[in-house]
Structure 1
C-alpha cells in the first residue's frame, strides 16, 4: 500500500498539486494509522494530508479512484442461492480432484465479482499496458486482456461440469439457471476488464511529463475528444494562452525601449564637432490589431469555435479590440457575454444564447450579407477578420461579393477550416469561391493549429 500511496503522490505532482516530502510522510503515517477497513476514513485521511486548496481538492477527487478504488462497483454480478451454491462447490471440488482446478470458473459461477481484480491484474501484467496512453487504445487492450483468459478451455470445463451435474441429478431448470449465471458473469468480467483498462490509461497519462502530455493534447483532433479529454483541453488552452500572452508582453517591453538614432544624433551634434553630447533616441510605435471573430457553431464545427473563443478572450489584453460573432444561417453578436461573465461561462452562453437557430442549416452567404449590412462600417485598416467554418453552404448562394467587400475594408481575412483539403469543394463545400478573398486559408483541426493562427495575427 505504501507503494500505491507514493504513486498517487507522484500523480498529484504531475497534475500540478504541490506535495512536499514532509506531506508525503504524513500521508503514509495517516494511512498506517487509519487502515483500509473504512474506505471513507482512508480517503479523508489522505486528503487531509495532501490537499491545501479547493483546486487541489478537485484534482485529488479526480485521481483518487484511479489509484485506490476496487472494481466491485463496475457492474452487477449474478449469484446462485445459498443451497445451489453449496451443492455447486461440492461438485467443483470433486471435479478439481480429478481434472485440476479452474479458479476463475469457480468465481464466475459463484458470482464473487470482488475477486475478479486479481485475475485481471495478472492478465494485464502478461499483456503489458505500459504503452496504453490514448482512449482509442482502450478497446484493443480490453479485448487482449479478456481473450487471454482462454475462453475455449473455460467453455469446455463448463460443459463438462454441466454433464457431471446432469448425471448427479440436477434438474434442467437448475442447469439453465447455472448457464445464465455463467454468461451474465462473463459479461460482468468483460465490463470490469474495460474499467481496469480505462483506469490504467488514465494513470499512464498522469505519469507522463507535463511537456509530453501537453504535446499529445496539442496534436489531438478536437472532434475526437471525449468529455474527460475536453476538460483537459480547456485547461491546456488556458495555460497555452497565458504563456503566449506573457511572451507577447515581454516582446512589447523590449520594443518600448528607445533605440539610438545615429544619423539624427550626428546631425544634432554638428556644432560640437560631432561629439555626441546630446543623444537622439528613436521611439518605436506599437500598434495593436483589432480582431473580429466569426464562428460557425453548427454541429460539425462548434468544438473548434468553442476553443478559439476561449483562446482569443484569454489573449484579449494583447489586442486593441475583440468582437465576436456566432452563426449558422444567421449572425449573432456575443461580445457582451465576455464582458459580463468569466471566459468559460461566456463561451457556454455563446454556444446556446446568441438568439440564433443553432440547429438550422448553414448559410454562409446570408451571414456575410448580414455582416456587411450591420457591421462593415466598424471594420478598419487595423482589423483582422477571423472566420471559422467548413464553407459547406447547403447549396445556397455563397455571396462571395460580400466577402470581397469585407476584405477591402479590413487588414485581411483569415479562414480556418476544420476539414482537411481533400474534402474542400466536395458536395456543398464552396471553399474555392471564398479562398481568393482571404489573406490565408488554413486547416484547423488541433490546438496546435489554433495557436499558430493566433500567434501569426498578434
Structure 2
C-alpha cells in the first residue's frame, strides 16, 4: 500500500499538484483511517488532504481516476472464442482432424500464459499485467519514445516467448487453437499498449512538461507560433511565481529586521539577560519602483506582450509598476493590464498604438511631456525595443535625461548584438546613456533580466 501511495503522489506532482512531504504523510494517515474499499471516499480524502486550489482539485481528480483504473484486456472476438470453446469441447468433433480436444490442449500442451488467455479470465490477465508492469519497472517511464521498450519488457515478463512457441507448435497440430491464441495475443498486445500509455500519462507528464518548457524557455519569443502562446503565458506565470518566492522572503525579513543583540541584552538586564524583550535593527532599502516603456510595433510586439505579463505578475515583489506602450506615439497601459486578461489587454493596446512603424523620438517626447514626473531617484526605467527608429530623429537627449533622473536605465533588446548599429538601429547611441544593455529574446533571458533588476532592491 505504501509503495502504491508513493507512486500516486509522484503522479500527482507530475499532474501539477504541489505535494510536500508533510502533506503526503497526512494523506497516508487519512487513507489508513478510511481504507481503499470505497473509491469515492478515498478520492475525497486525497482532494481534502492534497489539493489547495480548484485547479489542483481538478488535476488531482483526473490523476486519481487514471491511477486507480484497472486495464481491461482487449478481446475483439470474445463471443466467437466462446463458440470455439463449445466446438472444441465436443460439439463438433470434425473441427480437429487430429482428434485433439482444444480444452485438453489448453490444459496440457500449452504454457501458463496461453492457458490464461484461453480461459478469458479478465481478472487474472489484469493481475498478470500489473505484476509484469512492476517487474518491468513501468513507473519509471518518462518519455513517449520509451513506450515500445516497456511494452516489450512487460510481454517478456508475462512469458510471451513461450506463447509464441505454443502458437508455432499448434499451427501444425491444431490450426484452430493456433488461430485463437494469435487473436488472444493481439488482444494482449493492445491491452499492454494501453497500460503503458496510461503509465506514460501518469508518470511521464512532468518530464514531458519540463522538456516542453525547456524548449520554450530557449525559443525566440518573437517567433512563437500561435498554438504556443498559451503555453508560453503559462511558462511566464511559472517564472513570475518563482521570482516571487525568491524575492518576497528577503523583503519579509527586511520589514522585521535583524536581531540587535546588544540592545536586546541591555533591555533585559533586569531579568538576568533572559530575552523577554527583543530589539530589532532595520536597514532601509528602497522599495522597488519600475517604469516600463515597451515597443509594440510589429517586430517586437510578442516580446512586449510576455514582458508586460511578467512584470505585472510580481505584485508581492514590486510595489509600484507603471507601464507604457508605443510605436508611433506613447500611452500609459497600466490600467489596461490590471483590469483585463492578458489576451484582451494586448488586443486593446494594439488597437490604440500597435500596427505602426516605430518612432522612438516622438514616443520619448510624449513621455517627457506627460509622465517625466513618474521617474524618481528610486525608479528603474526599463526600455524594451529593438531601437530601430526608421531613420527618424532618435531623440537620444531625452533618453539621457531619463537616465539622469532614474536609479537605473535598463535597455532590453530582442535583437542579437551583431545587428546593433546596422541599418536604422540606434542602439549604440542609446547604449551610452543606459546603465545596463542586454539582449532579451527568450523567456530565459527575460527571467534573468527581471531577476537582476529586482535583486538590486534587495
Pairwise TM-score range, normalised by the shorter structure: 0.5 to 0.7
Deviation per CA, 1:88-120: give whole Å up to 9, x if none: 89779847955645569959x999996655443
Deviation per CA, 1:293-314: give whole Å up to 9, x if none: 4265968636742552234444
Rate the CA distance shift 1:368–1:169 in 2: closer, same or farther, 3 A: same
Match of 2:336 in 1: 337
Indicate if the aligned counterparts of 2:150 and 2:196 stay in contact, CA closer than 8 A. Answer: yes
Q: How many angstroms does 1:336 deviate by?
A: 0.5
State the SS of the aligned residue for 2:383.
strand
Two-structure CA RMSD over aligned residues (Å): 6.0
Give the counterpart of 1:440 among 436, 440, 454.
Answer: 436
State the SS of the aligned residue for 2:367.
helix
Rate the CA distance shift 1:9–1:110 in 2: closer, same or farther, 3 A: closer
Match of 1:238 in 2: 241
Deviation per CA, 1:163-193: give whole Å up to 9, x if none: 95698676xxx979x77x9778756744542
Establish whether residue 80 from structure 1 lines up as the match of residue 77 from structure 2.
yes
Rate the CA distance shift 1:69–1:288 in 2: closer, same or farther, 3 A: closer
Deviation per CA, 1:358-415: give whole Å up to 9, x if none: 996xx7x6153562353332235535432345x497xx82758256643443435423
Establish whether residue 44 from structure 1 lines up as the match of residue 23 from structure 2.
no
Rate the CA distance shift 1:195–1:424 in 2: closer, same or farther, 3 A: farther
For residues 142 and 254 of structure 1, the distance between their equivalents in structure 2, rounded to whole angstroms, comes to 54
For residues 304 and 104 of structure 2, the distance between their equivalents in structure 1, rounded to whole angstroms, comes to 61
For residues 427 and 452 of structure 2, the distance between their equivalents in structure 1, rounded to whole angstroms, comes to 23
Rate the CA distance shift 1:104–1:167 in 2: closer, same or farther, 3 A: closer
For residues 331 and 131 of structure 2, the distance between their equivalents in structure 1, rounded to whole angstroms, comes to 56
Structure 1: gaps (5+ residues): 206-212, 258-282
User: Any residues of structure 2 matched to 1:122-137 within 5 Å, and which?
Assistant: 122-124=135-137, 129=140
Deviation per CA, 1:417-451: give whole Å up to 9, x if none: 567x5886699995965763543233453245432
Indicate if the aligned counterparts of 1:328 and 1:357 stay in contact, CA closer than 8 A. Answer: no
Structure 2: gaps (5+ residues): 89-101, 220-227, 261-282
Match of 2:35 in 1: 31
Rate the CA distance shift 1:392–1:6 in 2: closer, same or farther, 3 A: same
Q: How many angstroms does 1:5 deviate by?
A: 4.1
TM-score by structure 1 length? 0.58
Give the counterpart of 2:402 among 385, 401, 409.
Answer: 409
Q: How many angstroms does 1:335 deviate by?
A: 0.6
User: Any residues of structure 2 matched to 1:322-361 within 5 Å, and which?
Assistant: 322-326=321-325, 333-340=332-339, 346-356=341-351
Establish whether residue 310 from structure 1 lines up as the match of residue 299 from structure 2.
no
Q: How many angstroms does 1:55 deviate by?
A: 2.9
Larger Rg: 2
Corresponding residue pairs, total: 389
